[in-house]
Amino acid sequence: MTQRTASPSRRHRTQRGDRAARSRRLAMNVACACALMWMAHAQASSSTSAPSVNAEPADDSAAPAQADLAIKAQPAGMWTGFWNRSNMLGDMGGLRPALMNYGVTFGLQETSELLGNVSGGINHGFTYDGLTTATVTVDTQKAFGLAGGTFNASALQIHGRNLSQFNLGNLQTASGIEADDTTRLWELWYQQSFLDNRFDVKVGQQSIDQEFMVSQYSATFINTMFGWPAVPSYDMPAGGPAYPLSALGVRFRAKPSNSVTVLAGVYDGNPAGTGTGDPQLLNNHGTNFNLHNGALFIGELQYAINQPSNGDLDDGTPPGLPGTYKLGFWYNNEKFPDEATDDGGLSLADPNSSGNPQLHRGEYSVYAVVDQMLWRPSANSPKSLGFFTRVMGAPGNRSLIEFSLNSGLVLKAPFASRESDSAGISVGYVKVGSQVSAFDRATANFNGGFSPVRGSETVIEATYQYQANPWLQLQPDIQYVFNPGAGVVNPNNPTQKIKNELILGVRANITF
């Protein structure tokens, strides 16, 4: 998942709920983590003769009989195979397979993380953040005989305290799950496929970060901007229809060949709806279903190389190194204020200014995404080295961020015994709009004193995804931020900019 932000930043929002409630949630998550680790240790130590998950029997002819005896020796019950099952709760006492008979799939995932700023920034210290995601998907053919249909509904329960808001003050916020505490509807849509799945249409409440501007490799990282990038996060109204918000719309997808995919969509222009203030509070539970604030148009062309074929005959030739290349654009037809000039042509920093910014028709961006495997020992090896980069630009006169870049390397199966792990290093860069810098310079000229000119911000992140078992993943993480906020004043010391930040933390993903 990665996820989503708003202008000036969806991640910098006032948190609600008392500290006692947060403390109880933190204690419960810590207790659950401890219990899971104890059960893992107990199961691992209960039998020294048990083979590992990836172990192969020495005698192939005896393996089926031995496996059959091992299965029969296992007691039946709720916790049978607890550590090795794909979901922590397994088949939920038969509920999951019973629902699947009717085409219903239920998913529940918890993401919990402890992140802290240990150097620079606004404040030092650690905070807990958590996100619970529940999803129900219905295959309409199994449910009531309608071929090619899929219904999806999902909800979010967001809890904890945002590190970026209280401790960092950066633009590229530390975690992709940072958002206001609430329980909200996320997506609610229906998709219908046609022409042997070569074309489909999706209608309803959608979060476009699930399909547009997506990079497979960048999803490895925790920082927000490796999920939903900085340009749409800060330049689209309310950050755009992306986590934790979504918007009504329709999306078309066509696959004229196995290599080419075309995406196009039109959505409500502002997922927060009408009003001013925190966009997430304006649409606190995700049920505004707004259609009154202009329109967002988005399109994306995808070209894939060396991908598994869909229905084509396998000639036995191993494919080359796979990659995906994407080129896209978006356009919002609302009016957007100039970042430096008022409606009379004066600087907004000028004491004689009207204070009303000049308005521009429309906001837009062009972007490109590359995901390319660079190396693997053999065609069937789980080990591989992948590269990603994502660049996008927007007009400098009406955009807080006019350019953003994400790039990095991801090594899958870094060790022979850790085939499901991934290690990565990445860099994120954002540059504020030209008129933002112009406003800062004018402010310094008119007001004097300490008034820095905002420019750019860079973050470097190193992370490791440790797949403890099929349903539990642990991810230690380190980030370093250069020139936080692109050079803004430290609110705790108006004579200095925010100093460079060192962020340490760990994330846990649990699939129930």
Q: How distant, in Å, are the alpha carbons of 34, 212, 301, 304 from that of 298?
A: 45, 8, 11, 20
Residue labelled with tokens 């008119």:
446
Average pLDDT over residues 394-407: 97
- CA dist 29 and 130 (Å) reads 9
Beta strands (DSSP E) in 226-322 are 247-254, 260-268, 295-305
Question: In percent, how much of the chain has pLDDT > 90?
Answer: 76
Higher pLDDT residue, 472 or 28? Answer: 472
Reported pTM: 0.83
Kindly state the average pLDDT of the residues 455-465.
Answer: 98
Query: Does position 433 have pLDDT exceeding 60, yes or no?
Result: yes
Question: What is the rounded CA–CA span in Å between residue 133 and residue 511?
Answer: 10
Q: Residue 51 — very low, low, confident or very high, per pLDDT cuts 50/70/90?
A: very low
pLDDT band at 470 (very low <50, low <70, confident <90, very high): very high
CA distances from 345 to 334, 341, 353 (A): 21, 6, 9
Q: Phi, psi (5° rounding) for residue 24? A: -65, -40
pLDDT at 173: 97
Average pLDDT of the residues in 373-394: 96
Please tell me whether the peptide bond between 452 and the residue prior to it is cis, using omega within 30 degrees of 0.
Answer: no
Domain 19-42+67-511: which CATH number of 2.40.160.180, 2.40.50.140, 3.30.70.660, 2.60.40.10: 2.40.160.180
Burial of 424 (0-12, 13-18, 19+ CB in 10 A): buried
Of 3-17, 164-178, 198-212, which gets the smallest average pLDDT?
Answer: 3-17
Angstrom distance (rounded) from CA 480 to CA 497: 16
Helical H runs in 237-316? 279-282
- Residue 511 token pair: 């699939």
Please report, rounded to a whole number, the percentage of residues in the chain having pLDDT higher than 70.
Answer: 82
pLDDT in tens, 190-206: 999 999 999 999 999 99
Residue 358 and residue 340: Cα distance in Å, rounded? 8
pLDDT, residue 194, reads 96
The secondary element (H helix, E strand) that includes residue 361 is strand 357-375
* Length reported for the chain: 512
HSE (CB half, 13 Å, CA atoms) of 16?
Answer: 9
How many beta carbons lie within 10 A of that of residue 266, not counting itself? 15
Per-residue confidence (pLDDT) for residue 39, from 0 to 100: 42
Q: Which residue matches tokens 């000229």?
A: 445
- The pLDDT assigned to 310 comes to 57
The mean pLDDT value for 134-143 works out to 97
| Backbone region of residue 92 per phi and psi (left: phi > 0; alpha: psi in -120 to 50; beta: other values) | left
Mean pLDDT on 435-444: 94
Residue 317, pLDDT > 70, answer no
The predicted-structure confidence for 177-186, as pLDDT tens digits, reads as follows: 999 999 999 9
Tokens encoding 448: 């004097």
pLDDT attached to residue 401: 98
Q: What pLDDT, on the 0 to 100 scale, is given for residue 193?
A: 97
pLDDT surpassing 60 at residue 357: yes
